[in-house]
Homo-oligomer: A and B are copies of this chain.
Amino acid sequence: MEVEIISVGNELVLGQIVNTNVAYLADQLRQLNLVAHYQTTVDDEPARIEAALKTARTRAQLVFVCGGLGPTADDQTMPSVARGLGRKLVLDEDHWQAIQRLLKQRAAGMPAENIRQAYYIEGGQPLANPAGLALGALVTVGETTVGVLPGPPREFKAMVDQSLVPELKRRFPAAKQVTSRLLHFAGRPESLLMDEITAVLGDLPVVATSYVQPDEIQVRLRVDDRPDAAAAPLLDQATRRIVAKEGAYYFGSGEGVTLAGQVVKLLAAAKLTITAAESLTGGLFQSTLCGVSGASKVFAGGFVTYAARAKTKLVGVPAELIAEHGVVSAETAAAMATGARETIGADLGVAFTGVAGPDPLEGQPAGTVYVAIAQAGQPAAAWRLDLAGYRGRQVIRQQSVTRVLLALYRRLREKTGNADS
């Protein structure tokens, strides 16, 4: 079954607001195995709403029209959909009574206009609005079922969750079966990663698609048209093949998994604490760790050592070492990591020093970054990241943090076993 979502609103067409409703509804539909392959946005003009509905009916059997159910004259969705379907509007008397009661409580006065919000489409079913005044509707005409939903995100979400989804589950038990799994990678160019994944999947009936975010590459594996019991082993087999090849860049599977979250989880499991001395990243590593709920178990505090003198003063990097090797050096990175670790009394210390740009530093171009990991009882490991191919301060800083998180993940993973959720 093809599904289309039509979003209605002048403010969407003018780019004044971002359409979060459509993503929310599409995600909810996907969980019912309904994929909204077509999504359209139009303004509040009745002719354009009708035209969009007409086009949708040529290609979809389930159509949602979202927004434009307010009480004012520019809210034209319900009458436009009714006209488009050749149906009348019907007043829900009970709902109109309820609206009048609510408006009286709010002392809002003049409720006459709000009667529009008590109408739904003849022959259809009203959808209750647990968070607002406007009634929704679900109506089947010929081969098409059309749902009408309100625009304000709080009302939209409440009606989708509490009125629409339960009704859809009744009406459309299992369309096409889709089983999917989300894998997470970092530190690898997307094109290379996907080439290699496609190659290792070979003729397994598993489709891989990728999505790049600033701090990771998400790869979704999908098996179509098989029951869960048959799909799960295929996804397992695909995951095993991929991890065998791309293990160095892989950090887990599942929705909601983040690299920082995985590192915090592994540190907590190993009962290890961590700290940092950050130069070019300016606190981004520590801030990323603290973004994980429960980070306080593994992180007490750390340092931003932006200037050379802060490296000496806060984490005891000898001024002579900096004079000899420069601030942009493996030696300085190692001394920062060790100094931070010893000053805080943490098990692990990490350090970042380098050139975020745009200007060079010590004759080194933007993207030259040295990082280090120090651990009690071991010599500090320091290495150079060459990020000259990345553009922009923020990207170089973000990449530096991601690479060190990945190195920590791999180091901890070797010691403490699997952190997959």
Which residues of A does B touch, CB under 8 Å?
7, 10-20, 22-30, 35-45, 48, 55, 70-74, 102-111, 113-114, 130-132, 152, 154, 189-192, 194-195, 198, 209-212, 214, 276, 278, 280-287, 289-291, 293, 295-296, 299-307, 309-311, 313-314, 344, 356-359, 367, 386-395, 397
Q: Write out the residue numbers on chain B whose beta carbons fall within 8 Å of the beta carbon of A152.
A: 212
Q: Write out the residue numbers on chain B whose beta carbons fall within 8 Å of the beta carbon of A283.
A: 278, 282-287, 290, 302, 304
Contacting pair B72 A190 (CB below 8 A)? yes
Q: How far is the CB of A335 from chain B (nearest CB, A)?
A: 15
Q: Write out the residue numbers on chain B whose beta carbons fall within 8 Å of the beta carbon of A48.
A: 37-38
Q: Write out the residue numbers on chain B whose beta carbons fall within 8 Å of the beta carbon of A314.
A: 301, 303, 344
**Out of B107, B293, B301, which one reaches A304, CB within 8 Å?**
B301
Complex alpha-carbon distance, A29 and B16, angstroms: 12
**Out of B14, B17, B313, B389, which one reaches A108, CB within 8 Å?**
B389
Task: Identify the 9 closest CB pairs spanning chains A and B, nearest first.
Answer: A283-B283, A282-B290, A301-B310, A15-B26, A15-B27, A106-B389, A71-B191, A39-B41, A300-B307
Complex alpha-carbon distance, A74 and B152, angstroms: 34
Given A26-B15, A198-B73, A389-B108, CB of A290 within 8 Å of CB of B301: no
Q: How far is the CB of A4 from chain B (nearest CB, A)?
A: 10
Given A114-B191, A191-B70, CB of A386 within 8 Å of CB of B35: no
Contacting pair B389 A103 (CB below 8 A)? yes
Contacting pair B301 A303 (CB below 8 A)? yes
Given contacts A15-B36, A22-B41, A44-B209, 10 further A-B contacts (CB under 8 A): A15-B23, A19-B19, A37-B42, A38-B40, A70-B190, A106-B388, A291-B394, A295-B306, A301-B305, A301-B306
Residue of B nearest to A72 (CB): B194
Q: How far is the CB of A104 from chain B (nearest CB, A)?
A: 8
Q: Write out the residue numbers on chain B whose beta carbons fall within 8 Å of the beta carbon of A36.
A: 13, 15
Which has the most chain B C-beta neighbours within 10 Å: A15, A20, A305?
A15
Contacting pair A39 B37 (CB below 8 A)? no
Q: How far is the CB of A31 from chain B (nearest CB, A)?
A: 9
Complex alpha-carbon distance, A18 and B39, angstroms: 13
Given A291-B393, A389-B102, CB of A13 within 8 Å of CB of B37: yes
Q: Write out the residue numbers on chain B whose beta carbons fall within 8 Å of the beta carbon of A26.
A: 12-15
Complex alpha-carbon distance, A234 and B383, angstroms: 57
Contacting pair A19 B23 (CB below 8 A)? yes
Q: Write out the residue numbers on chain B whose beta carbons fall within 8 Å of the beta carbon of A42.
A: 37-39
Complex alpha-carbon distance, A105 and B25, angstroms: 42
Given A302-B304, A391-B131, CB of A19 within 8 Å of CB of B22: yes
Residue of B nearest to A358 (CB): B293
Q: Write out the residue numbers on chain B whose beta carbons fall within 8 Å of the beta carbon of A280.
A: 290
Contacting pair A303 B300 (CB below 8 A)? no
Q: Write out the residue numbers on chain B whose beta carbons fall within 8 Å of the beta carbon of A394.
A: 291
Q: Write out the residue numbers on chain B whose beta carbons fall within 8 Å of the beta carbon of A389.
A: 102-106, 108
Contacting pair B282 A211 (CB below 8 A)? no
Contacting pair B19 A12 (CB below 8 A)? no
Q: Write out the residue numbers on chain B whose beta carbons fall within 8 Å of the beta carbon of A7.
A: 39
Contacting pair A287 B293 (CB below 8 A)? no
Contacting pair A192 B301 (CB below 8 A)? no
16 residue pairs from A and B, CB less than 8 Å apart:
A12-B39, A15-B25, A16-B210, A16-B211, A19-B23, A70-B190, A102-B389, A108-B189, A108-B389, A110-B192, A111-B191, A113-B191, A154-B395, A282-B289, A291-B397, A302-B303
Q: How far is the CB of A34 from chain B (nearest CB, A)?
A: 11
Complex alpha-carbon distance, A42 and B194, angstroms: 22
Contacting pair B41 A310 (CB below 8 A)? no
